[in-house]
Amino acid sequence: MLEGRKIVVGVTGGISAYKTCYVVRGLKKLGADVRVVMTPSATQFVTPLTFSTLSGNEVIVDMFPASTHQGTSVRTWHIDLALWAELMLIAPATANTIAKIAHGIADNFLTSLVLAVRCPVVLAPAMDVDMYLNEITQRNLKILKELGYLIIEPEEGELASGLVGIGRMAEPEKIVEFVKDFFAGVKFDLKGKKILVTAGPTYEPIDPVRFIGNWSSGKMGFEIAKASVHRGADVILISGPTYLNTPKNVKRIDVVTSDEMFDAVVKFYNEVDVVIMSAAVADYAPAQRFEKKLKKEDLPEGMLELKLKKTKDILKYLGDNKRNQILVGFALETDNAFENAIQKLKQKNLDFIVLNTLGEGSGFGCDTNIVTIISKDGKVESLPKMTKYEVAHKILDKVSQMFNKGEAKG
């Protein structure tokens, strides 16, 4: 099932390293080509020779020779492996290594490789219960999840310390099954395609401290960017203000106002094959921006009247200036949702539109969404509640189908 798949297995310094021997053997039995990378600490638990024998390949521990007496050949192994791998699995992933990856520290071969790989990275955490539950470790894992790293959650049970709790590395069979499922579902169908994704809100200034905005978190757009990279695309993410971390291997451009988003999108429009406009761009902006903070005592009767002007219609501009790009829009409506989405689809010359549902577990700030995908040919696909990452793949499935049918050129 994994015939010919190129997998790097990273081993860090924890007692669970002995389990990784069975992981490597399991991957090899399924036909994978496995290369093992170890941290120096990992060699205290299992020898490199063991993993070399199991994988049938050289094991890399150090970036450089121990001394010049042993040779002066220094290869860019981390770059070579980074370009070779289709998946990197780190098992066990200790609290120390998780912290280093989350903060971009590359002080050994394994952590240097993580920074260089273009493929998805899977971590199987393993540590004592208090280390795992420590708020710093949990924060680091949250950072990695937001960046697009995949986590095989640890299990509960007896730990090496004698304590009982969560922190045991998942069993080898479960890890191998995770890798099988990953490759069964993974599609590199967008390799070579360039995708531009917009995300988040825009803020339209009233004065130096106040603005008109909306509740968009940017999560949907960031999940689309992450999923696009996982499917092999080159991705530009243009984001309004958000707290979210940039997904791995995504080029991010930050903007604040609708004018700034318009300029950024137009700048890259002719370079990309697909535009997915998931940003909640403000429809109106203050006609006048006050240079100083408006104070309540300066307002007659405490009332402030703002005149608003329409912002530039980014989607309309893109639809009017399409070459062969696939153009995808989003709609969030509170009434006559379907009819309004159809009207937007036609007016903006979109290939398809994603109609968001605003409600419990769907819409702004949620990790899940309920959407309906409406195509220009009239096809309607209503999806059940899914994670926004799963919704992203449904959108990309539609994009991929259009390329396969020759409805767009990349």
Q: Which residues are catalytic?
A: 214
263 is in an annotated binding site: no
Helix/strand/coil for 16: coil
Question: Per the annotation, does 377 bind a ligand?
Answer: no
| 137 neighbors 95 (Cβ within 8 angstroms) | yes
Q: Is 330 a known ligand-binding residue?
A: yes
Q: Are 240 and 250 in contact (CB under 8 A)?
A: no
- What size, in residues, is the chain? 410
Q: Which of 138, 60, 67 lies closest to 99 in space, CA to CA?
A: 138
Helices 388-404 and 219-230, packing angle to 10 deg? 50
Distance CA 91, CA 178 (A): 12
* E strand or H helix at 316: helix 314-320
- Give buried/exposed letters for 311-321 (b at 16+ CB in 10 A, else e): bebbbeebbee
Closest CA to 228 of 392, 408, 6: 392
Q: Which two tokens stand for residue 298?
A: 């300066």
Residue 28 labeled ligand binder: no
Ranges of beta strands (E only) in 72-172 are 87-93, 121-125, 150-151, 155-158, 164-168
The answer to whether 309 is a known ligand-binding residue is: no
Q: Where are the alpha helices (DSSP H) in 124-171?
A: 129-133, 135-147
The whole-angstrom separation of Cα 273 and Cα 194 is 5
Q: List, as residue ranges, the binding site.
A: 283, 293, 330, 344, 348
Residues in binding site for CTP: 283, 293, 330, 344, 348
